Amino acid sequence: MKRLALILMLVASVSRAEGQWLTSRGRIAEETRLEVFGGARTFGVGAVRPNDEGRAAWSAEAVYAFRDRVIELRGARVWQFTPTRFATASVNAGTSMYVVPEQFNLGLGPNVGLALGLGGPRVSVDLGLQTGLDVFAAGAHLRLPQRLSIGVTVRVCDFTISAMARAGADIVPGHAFVGRGDFVLSIGWLGLR
Amino acid sequence: MRLLAALTVFLSACGLSAPTVGRVTSPGVAEAFFETRANDTDVLRVRVLFPSDESGRPMAGPHPAVVYVQGGFVPTQRYAWQAEVLARQGFVVAMPDHTLDLAFFSIENGEVARKLLVTPPSRSLLEGLVDANRIAVAGHSLGGVVAIKLALLKGFRAVMVQASFSDAADDTKLPALGMPSLFMAGAKDCQATLRQVEAGWAKMPSPTALVVLPGTTHYGFTDTDADDAVKCPPEVAIEVSHARIAAAMTGFLSTAFEGSVGETALRAVEGVEVSVR
Q: Residue ranges of the domains in chain B?
A: 16-156, 160-277
Contact A172 B11 (CB under 8 A): no
Total beta-carbon pairs less than 8 A apart between chain A and chain B: 77
Summarize pLDDT for A114-173 with one digit per residue, the tens.
999 999 989 999 999 999 998 988 877 889 999 999 999 999 999 999 999 988 999 988
- How far from B22 is each of A12, B19, B177, B210, CA to CA, in Å? 33, 7, 35, 35
Residue ranges in chain B whose pLDDT is less than 50: none
Contact B107 A176 (CB under 8 A): yes
φ, ψ of residue A156 to 5 degrees: the values are -130, 115
ipTM: 0.80
Distance of CA B13 to the CA centre of its chain: 32
Contact B11 A69 (CB under 8 A): yes
Contact A65 B41 (CB under 8 A): yes
| Nearest chain A residue (CA) to B42 | A68
pLDDT at position A2, please?
A: 56
Contact A116, A128 (CB under 8 A): yes
Calculate how close chain B gets to A101, using CA atoms only, in Å: 4
Candidates A104, A177, A179; nearest CB to B99: A179
Contact B41 A98 (CB under 8 A): yes
| Domain count along chain A | 1
Strand segments (E) across chain A: 32-39, 42-50, 56-65, 70-80, 87-100, 105-119, 123-132, 134-136, 141-156, 159-171, 178-192
Candidates A101, A107, A179; nearest CB to B8: A101
Strand segments (E) across chain B: 23-26, 29-38, 42-51, 63-69, 92-96, 130-140, 158-162, 181-186, 208-213, 273-276
Give the strand order in the sheet containing B181-186.
B23-26, B29-38, B42-51, B92-96, B63-69, B130-140, B158-162, B181-186, B208-213, B273-276
The CATH number of residue A94's host domain is 2.40.128.130
Summarize pLDDT for A58-104 with one digit per residue, the tens.
999 999 998 888 899 999 999 999 999 999 999 999 999 988 887 77
User: Which CATH number applies to B16-156?
Assistant: 3.40.50.1820
| Nearest chain A residue (CA) to B110 | A176
Choose from B37, B41, B150, B173 for mutation: most chain A CBs within 10 A: B41
* Structural domain boundaries, residue A114: 2-192
Summarize pLDDT for B53-63 with one digit per residue, the tens.
999 999 998 99
Contact B99 A105 (CB under 8 A): no
